[in-house]
Amino acid sequence: MSVIIIDDSPVNVMLMQGLARQVHGGDIHAFTNPLEAMTCMPGEDPDLILVDYMMPEIDGLEVIARLRADPRLVDTPIVMVTTADQRAVRIKALEEGATDFITKPIDATEFKARMRNLLRLKDAARLLRGRADELAREVAKATKELADREEEIILRLSRAAEYRDSETGMHILRMAHYSRIIAEGLGCDPDYVNDLWRAAPMHDVGKIAVPDAILLKPGRFTPEERVEMERHTRFGQEILGGSQAPLIKLASEIAGSHHERWDGKGYPLGLSGTDIPLSGRIAAVADVFDALTSERPYKKPWSLEQARAYLVTERGQHFDPACVDAFFAGWARVLEIHATNQDIPQAA
């Protein structure tokens, strides 16, 4: 590491260099021109900076102000060299960020003692910053591990629901990607976008609790069967509900709201407009589009243009207009996802 000396007097520079070498084992960089010091200062974080007050072009106060504006030098001790009678200058120097003062004429014993103390202060600050960085890395690692566990839970539950339904794992994957496209198109926070992408596969986990006779029925539902089938939203919300994990909480929200409609004619609560959670409004567009364009035992797949036309028709009725618009804005990506994530034919 290094000590920086900025003083326009070559005599003072030589004196401080000599004293600094008796205390500091690193490099000593000296500048007699403050502007040159500003442009030629070494790039590493110095241990200590000594600045004279009276200098040509810019004085020591301006030098300190410029040094403190550099994020690298926030914790670096800066000492101003002044005469004993410059009290107002000292006060201003403190306001600009000076750490300590050395009085002219320089006393060698005092100079070395102050340098030792300030260098210890710098070492302590460096150790503290290193420990803080280490703790931050540990927290980030622990947070990632928790997020990975949450994601694993979601994927396993999604797979369990998939085994009971005629829908495939590729539907879950496509629907999650479509949800991501919409959220990004809406300008959502990147962390929210990523969480939504991971939570969306859980939208139909409540189908685990729906009887096979209804869930796997190839034809139309009776009114009673329809009511029973619609309960999967409540089942899903309850299965995932009560968790303090943000990802599971978001998955619960999606499971309970992805069949609500913008016009209030959906289920289970008949919410409308922005009373529907954003995650549910996004998932509704993604889920319906993929369901329409996918083959099921009871239906042939719609073409992409037919499904797109349906979204246009239902914009402002079934679907949040902004979500539909965001989906269309990412249409090129929609086509790519649809083409590269096709269902694998199931063996009889």
Instruction: List beta partners, residue 101.
Output: 80
Which stretches within the chain are classed as H helix? 10-23, 34-40, 60-68, 87-96, 108-164, 169-185, 190-199, 212-215, 223-230, 232-240, 246-257, 278-292, 304-314, 321-329, 331-340
CB neighbour class for 191 (10 Å; exposed up to 12, middle 13-18, buried from 19): exposed
Q: 107 in the Ramachandran plot: left (φ > 0), alpha (ψ -120 to 50) or beta?
A: beta
Burial group, residue 144, by CB count within 10 angstroms (0-12, 13-18, 19+): exposed
CA–CA separation, 137 and 1 (whole Å): 25
* pLDDT band for position 347 (cuts 50, 70, 90): very low
Please report which confidence band the pLDDT of residue 179 belongs to, taking 50, 70 and 90 as the band edges: very high
Instruction: Measure the CA–CA gap between 180 and 175, rounded to whole angstroms.
Output: 9
Contact indicator for 115, 48 with CB cutoff of 8 Å: yes
165-340: CATH number: 1.10.3210.10
39, two tokens:
């442009």
- Where b means 16+ CB within 10 Å and e means fewer, 193-223 reads bebbbbbbbbbbbbbbbbeeebbebeeeeee
d(CA 92, CA 86): 10
Residue 312: the pLDDT is 97
Is pLDDT larger for residue 134 or for residue 318? Answer: 318
Alpha-carbon span 81 to 8, nearest angstrom: 12
Give per-residue burial for 44-61: e unless 16+ CB within 10 Å, then b: ebbbbbbbbbebeeebbb
pLDDT digits (tens, 9 = 90+) for 109-134: 999 999 999 988 888 888 888 888 88
Contacts of residue 330, defined as CB under 8 A and 6 or more positions apart, other chains included, come to: 181, 182, 184, 185
CA 126 remoteness from chain centre: 26
Domain with CATH 3.40.50.2300 in the chain: 2-134
**Local confidence band at 167 (pLDDT 50, 70, 90 cut-offs):** low
Please classify residue 294 by burial: count the beta carbons closer than 10 Å to its beta carbon, then call 0-12 exposed, 13-18 middle and 19+ buried: buried
Segment among 108-112, 168-172, 176-180, 313-317 with least mean pLDDT: 168-172
Out of 123-137, 150-164, 205-219, 265-279, least confident range: 150-164
What's residue 348's pLDDT?
Answer: 39
Q: Give the least confident one: 101-110, 209-218, 224-233, 329-338.
A: 209-218
Share of the chain above pLDDT 90, in %: 54
Mean pLDDT of 96-105: 90
Q: Kindly state the average pLDDT of the residues 306-320.
A: 97
Coil, helix or strand at residue 206 = helix
Identify which of 32-46, 147-161, 315-329 has the greatest average pLDDT.
315-329
Tell me how far apart the alpha carbons of residues 40 and 31 are, in angstroms, rounded to a whole number.
9
Q: What is the average pLDDT across 67-72?
A: 87
- Judged against a pLDDT cut of 90, whether residue 214 lies above it is answered with no
Q: Model confidence at 184, in pLDDT bands (50, 70, 90)?
A: very high
Q: What is the pLDDT of residue 31?
A: 92
CATH 1.10.3210.10 domain position(s) in the chain: 165-340
Contact 310, 169 (CB under 8 A): no
CATH code of the domain made up of 2-134: 3.40.50.2300
Q: Tell whether the model's pLDDT for residue 166 goes beyond 60.
A: no
pLDDT(264) > 70: yes
pLDDT at position 4 is: 92
pLDDT tens track for 11-22: 999 999 999 999
Does the predicted model carry a pTM greater than 0.75?
A: no
Q: What is the mean pLDDT of residues 156-161?
A: 70
Express each pLDDT in 273-293 by its tens digit: 999 999 999 999 999 999 999
How far out from the chain centre does Cα 170 lie?
Answer: 28
- The C-alpha angle 142, 145, 148, rounded to 5 degrees, equals 155
Could you give the 3-state DSSP secondary structure of residue 341?
Answer: coil
pLDDT band at 42 (very low <50, low <70, confident <90, very high): low
